[in-house]
Chain A
Amino acid sequence: MEKNVVHKYLRKNKKFPHIWCPGCGHGVIMSSMLRAIDKQGLDRDDVAVVSGIGCSSRTPTYVDFNTIHTTHGRALAFATGLKLAKPDMTVIVVMGDGDAVGIGGNHFIHAARRNMDLKVIVYNNNIYGMTGGQASPTTPSGKKATTARYGNIERSFDICELAKATGAVYVARSTSYHVQALEKYIHRSLSKKGFTVVEAMTHCPTTYGRLNKIKEPVAGMIYQKDHFIMKAAWDKLPEEKREGKFPMGEFVDIEKTDFVSKYLRLIEANKE
């Protein structure tokens, strides 16, 4: 008998507790993903979890599916190859914000443009966690990183807007505090065909938190509770009240033929 749905999918030969720091939001994202997979009723042999490099990218080492732990920024390239070789497999791609839209930014926009049937989950902690806190493309303006000691002067990427603009068929954002919504959005993305992106905001007590005065795990979650607002309420907020706050919810949910379907059709049509 398994203890619960999450334990059912954990690799028995791995050492637990996992490597993530005490209270790190990454663990919450991983369990939300496992519950969503279970809810979708997928056979574990028909699921692949692919990642790049980073704290978040440790996920595949712990979960009992087909897994590939690849190189930094290239998870989507490996996943694209896998999807073409195994069109029936549900391919989930787990990346950090640096992985997804920093070094891997080009892969991200082109996988979206092609509408590759990949289920992306970005663990966005607004920083390069594993390498000690360099600013990432999602570090908010004014926030601190080891490479932005006086506060970030750059404008940051909005991953959901980026996914929407480049062609994703499903785009949603939740946080490690809002676990039920997170599970729901991942579950919805698994039922879609095409490029989907769930941006999971995750609190990083050790790196982002320490640099930005939210180093207690609980404080990180309170921050999320107070700063992320459901889309319906957000849309009604006057501009001045949006300052420092972020919308969450489902932003895109459309149908569009994915790359692999077109590719298989092409092969069929050109058979001798």
Chain B
Amino acid sequence: MDKKIEFYESWCKGCGICAAFCPKGAITMDKMAGKPVFDEEKCIACGLCELRCPDYAVIIKKKDKE
């Protein structure tokens, strides 16, 4: 599926909610940086991380195939 994960690092507080509840395990928390790392391959663009991020730091854009 064609999608784009936009991550606004300066808004992210590193709470880990996006990673904990991603149904595909597409997000891991970088322990050093304290920020999420997204695996576009695994992501199914369900949008749950965007819905649950308390800081509006993730946006999942689905691009419809032409």
Contacts and interface: CB of A to CB of B under 8 A. Distances in A.
Contacts of A247: none
A4 B11 contact: no
A28 B58 CA distance: 13
Nearest to B11: A17
Given A4-B59, A7-B56, A221-B20, A17 B51 contact: no
A227 to B, nearest CB: 16
A3 interface: yes
A218 interface: yes
A56 to B, nearest CB: 13
A23 B56 contact: no
A179 B52 contact: yes
Listed residue (A6, A10, A23, A216) with the most chain B CB atoms within 10 angstroms of its CB = A23
Interface in A187-225: 205, 216-218, 221-222
Nearest to A32: B51
Contacts of B51: 28, 31-32, 179-180, 183
Given A3-B6, A17-B11, A27 B56 contact: yes
Interface string B1-36: 000001000111111110011000000000000000
A18 B53 CA distance: 12
Contact of A24 (B11, B14, B54, B59): B54
Interface string A10-54: 100000111011111111100110000000000000000000000
A24 B50 CA distance: 15
Nearest to B6: A3
Contact of A16 (B6, B11, B53): B11
Contact of B14 (A22, A25, A32, A205): A22
A211 to B, nearest CB: 19
Nearest to A18: B55
Listed residue (B10, B17, B21, B48) with the most chain A CB atoms within 10 angstroms of its CB = B17
Given A217-B16, A221-B21, A25 B59 contact: no
A23 B13 contact: yes
Listed residue (A3, A20, A22) with the most chain B CB atoms within 10 angstroms of its CB = A22
A25 B51 CA distance: 12
A26 B15 CA distance: 13
A25 B21 contact: no
B54 A3 contact: no
Contacts of A10: 56
Nearest to B34: A22
15 contacts: A4-B50, A7-B56, A16-B11, A16-B56, A22-B14, A26-B54, A28-B51, A31-B51, A177-B52, A179-B48, A216-B16, A217-B16, A218-B16, A218-B20, A218-B21
Given A17-B12, A31-B56, 5 more contacts: A7-B59, A17-B57, A26-B54, A31-B51, A217-B16
